[in-house]
Amino acid sequence: MKIVTLDGPSGSGKGTVGRLLAQVLNFNYLDSGLLYRGVAILVIEKDIALSDVSNIEEIARNMNLEFSSENNKIFLDGIDVSNSIRTEEISIVSSKVAQLKSVRAILHEIQRGYLKGNGLIADGRDMGTVIFPDADLKIFITASPEARAYRRHKELLGRGESVSLRDLERSIASRDRSDSERKISPLVPAVDAIIIDTSNMTVEEVKDKIVKHYRAT
């Protein structure tokens, strides 16, 4: 079974590209970030402190997160969270959840369960370094902080969420530091990853470039 990993920072475009690749290659698709976001939603809803690790572990084990590729709907325990799961508040809390070693371990096992069918496109921050180190193709997608903030701003405005571009730039810089400096599964390219800077590329251009690399494997 073929595995393609897409790692990179927030706003780099790996999610959009990942979904396209899964369609083109007829592969299963894993957006690992949704799992952390799902936990974050429940942590907020249940008013659980981030220091209450045992309760957060329980949430990670028992939540039911489903993604419909037909209409891009996301359901958490049967409730449509397609919009709420992408908010900036959830982004911030999910980044903090991702720093909890035991919670990451639980979600790592769930992520490996997506390996089925013809193959897998695995999108995240440690897919090629930790979850699937033997992947057939490892891609690290990045972009300038300015380009990533602009994309995120456009996405949030499209959902009716009012956030200033300057605040997003600060949030992304903070998230980058948190992701790259954490002791557990830091955001770094795999040593054998192909690095693609998408700052000045369209989604189609990025998708075509990765497909070309995949065909060459």
Domain ranges of the chain: 2-211
pLDDT at 69: 66
pLDDT at 156: 85
11 is in an annotated binding site: yes
82 is in an annotated binding site: no
Domain 2-211: give its CATH code: 3.40.50.300
160 is in an annotated binding site: no
Q: What is the pLDDT of residues 3-38, one digit of tens each?
A: 999 999 988 999 999 999 999 999 999 999 999 999
Q: What is the pTM of this model?
A: 0.89
16 is in an annotated binding site: yes
Q: What's the rounded mean pLDDT across residues 113-133?
A: 94
pLDDT at 70: 67
SS3 content of the chain, % helix, strand, coil (to 5): 50, 15, 35
14 is in an annotated binding site: yes
Tell me which residue has tokens 């000045």: 200
13 is in an annotated binding site: yes
Q: What is the pLDDT of residues 58-69, one digit of tens each?
A: 999 999 999 876
Q: Exposed/middle/buried for 212, CB within 10 Å: 0-12, 13-18, 19+?
A: exposed
